[in-house]
A and B are shown apart, each in its own frame.
Chain A
Amino acid sequence: MNSCIVAFCCEHSAYPAADLAGKLKLHCPESLRIIRVPCAGRVDVIHILKAFENGAVAVLVLGCEDGACHHITGNTRAKERVKYCNMLLKEIEADGRHVAMFNLSPNEPHKFVRAVNEITKRIKESGR
């Protein structure tokens, strides 16, 4: 198991927010790996599970704020899939693997950093 955090970032919100975090020289853990997607709604359950199969210790799915998805329903669907994923992981007592969804706007780099820190905290607390 490596210590990577895989973050699927929607190009309308989280990806620019992550860029802005860089511009403002905010700090993120080096284990973060960002994968750009056109909409959080593109992220499927298998992408999340494969991230874990390949050793990721946590997966983040980041999309637009509620009611502000550029593609209307993408962020809602992503949330449902993340919930489903958590259920699938619980079924197999997935040993502290975390997947979570966060919503933010493209001009909220602090929220991006907070999301990453939040998941890092959850990992530490579960003893990995």
Chain B
Amino acid sequence: METKIGIFLCNCGEAIRNIDFAATKEEVAQIPGVSCVNLSSNLCLKEGKEKMISCIKEENIEKVVVAACSPEFKEHIFRQVLEDAGLNGHLFSTANIREQCSWVHDGDVTGKAVELIKMAVNRARLLQPVEKKKFAVNREVLVVGGGFAAINAALQLSRVGLRTTLLEREAILGSETAELGSLCGFDISSMMSEVEGDENIEILTSAEVTAAAGKIGDFTVRIRKGGDEASHKYGAVVLATGYQTKLALESELKSDVNIVSQKKLCRMLENPNLEIRPRTIGFMFDFSDENSRLPTLATLNNALAAKQKWDSEIYVFCKSLKVDGPGAEKLYREARDCGVVFLKCEARPRITAGNGRVKIEAKDVFLGEDTILACDLLVAEELLLPSEGTEALSSLLNIRRDSRGFYQDENVHLYPVASEKKGIFFVGGCRGDLDLSRVLTDVSSVVVSVYELLSSGNILAEVERVKVDPQKCVACLTCIRVCPHDAIQLVRVDGGKEVAEVFDLACDACGICAAMCPAKAITFQGYRDEEILAQVETIEES
């Protein structure tokens, strides 16, 4: 027996003027399988929805077509209406007769509207239900790293009740963070004692990841500590593996004792036994790398400290100062008030060293003159790079990195702390965005996401929206290789045959696997070949 299709037309409060709804209703009622056609002026509002539900129930409608505004807005509303009427929410197709028909053409567009409805009906006829179920997930979180971002992530995760493992490859936690604290002017000691005292946080030092597999809610990570290796299970992984710096200098200058990094200067400032205090200090940054918020902050803090401790003469050479973080502009004014001189240069200064002094030749944009400065100490520009082991770790986890080698955000604007693989997040320096003020925001962002996913111990997700037919699968591995979300794995089924299987939790429903499968073994409900071709083939009928 033909499946019963119900069509619901809406004129959007009569905002759709150039479609003859009466004629449309008459014509679409004749399409085979259509058992009722209703016209409403407010289908998405309470009254309209209630009428829809009662019509579906009374006429025993099995599939629904809505001809109204764009599905981008109201699709989820109508899916819910179907569920409320006792139908699976996937048995629903739209004809966009407003934005993509009435509004984008002049004159009467009834003919096109009818055709769009026919396309939707032909697709609806083939639609199959997709169920949802609760998938049990592991509530523990792995945080890889031991610096500022990692520690804060662990603390915040613990506060929301999730057990966390903090995995640091060095022997002590936060070894670099202390220096960072001095560089950026904050005290980390309270943070350290908090994390060490937290019962919800397991700290593993001198430990590293040697293998990783699985999917969100069920990651299996092999950790090596000392001579032992063991597998552990986690629901989510947060990477906070940080960054490193390299002096951006010609090689012959790198070994000069009077050319240092910001961290080295920090250590010199803290050294009470320093033999000779530099009288003139030059700072250089923002020429090779535009990512200079952190260098700006570091320079300002170090410059002020040097002024206070050593009363040195300080000159800063840069293209621009990135003072848009909280407190940065105040620091800048303080530094100026103390007598730190800032020179804006378009071109990179020339550096030469010898006889215990470092010579900087630069052209200040405002003075328009060439300036030559002979200083005792130069704090050179540093390139900000992903830390050692970032490439290896991203390989183990099978996630992408961007062109600079930092972990690649799933969406630079909307999901900057998530990778393209569900359940793997990153915060802090390893993201390549070294704005300290944002690290805490990013951490909160990740914690909210992880909490939403794992806190209840299960995730409600669609079952077999994308499915590999094990009978047809020849294990050619094409889908496994091309899935951008690493959501397909090879599994053994009854009878010992190995076939590909889609992990429902990790799948992002893009359909790339379905398009590529050479054996046409993958069904993607809603976008199967038949469902797409049904729309394409409707066009001939016009």
B-binding residues in A (CB < 8 A):
2, 4, 6, 11, 15-16, 18-23, 25-28, 30, 33-39, 41-44, 46-47, 50-51, 54-56, 70-74, 77, 81
Would you call B532 and A47 a contact (CB within 8 A)?
Answer: yes
Partner of A41 from the list B103, B106, B512, B539 (CB cut-off 8 Å) is B512
0/1 string, B92-127, CB within 8 A of A gives 1? 000010111111111001001001100100000000
Contact partners of A27 in chain B: CB under 8 A: 104-106
In the complex with contacts A4-B539, A33-B539, A70-B411, A42-B511 CB distance below 8 A? yes
Contact partners of B485 in chain A: CB under 8 A: 71
Given contacts A22-B98, A23-B103, A74-B510, 16 further A-B contacts (CB under 8 A): A2-B539, A4-B539, A11-B72, A19-B99, A19-B100, A22-B70, A25-B103, A35-B532, A38-B510, A38-B527, A41-B510, A41-B512, A54-B537, A70-B510, A77-B512, A81-B515
Would you call A33 and B115 a contact (CB within 8 A)?
Answer: yes
Q: CA–CA, A27 to B539, complex, Å?
A: 21
Partner of A39 from the list B115, B411, B511, B535 (CB cut-off 8 Å) is B511
Contact partners of A46 in chain B: CB under 8 A: 529, 533
Interface residues of B in 492-542 (CB under 8 A from A): 508-512, 514-516, 524, 527, 529, 532-533, 535-537, 539-540, 542
Q: CA–CA, A42 to B522, complex, Å?
A: 12
Contact partners of A39 in chain B: CB under 8 A: 510-512
Contact partners of A50 in chain B: CB under 8 A: 533, 536-537
Q: CA–CA, A23 to B482, complex, Å?
A: 36
Would you call A51 and B539 a contact (CB within 8 A)?
Answer: yes
Would you call A54 and B512 a contact (CB within 8 A)?
Answer: no
Would you call A44 and B537 a contact (CB within 8 A)?
Answer: no
Name which of B70, B115, B514 has the most chain A CB atoms within 10 A of its CB.
Answer: B70
Name which of B71, B104, B119, B535 has the most chain A CB atoms within 10 A of its CB.
Answer: B104
Report the nearest A residue to B93, measured CB to CB.
Answer: A36
Q: CA–CA, A11 to B100, complex, Å?
A: 14
Report the nearest B residue to A39, measured CB to CB.
Answer: B510
Would you call A42 and B524 a contact (CB within 8 A)?
Answer: yes
Would you call A42 and B514 a contact (CB within 8 A)?
Answer: yes
In the complex with contacts A16-B72, A44-B515, A34-B96 CB distance below 8 A? yes
Contact partners of A72 in chain B: CB under 8 A: 400, 420, 484
Contact partners of B71 in chain A: CB under 8 A: 36
Report the nearest B residue to A113, measured CB to CB.
Answer: B104
Contact partners of A70 in chain B: CB under 8 A: 411, 510
Contact partners of A37 in chain B: CB under 8 A: 511, 527, 532
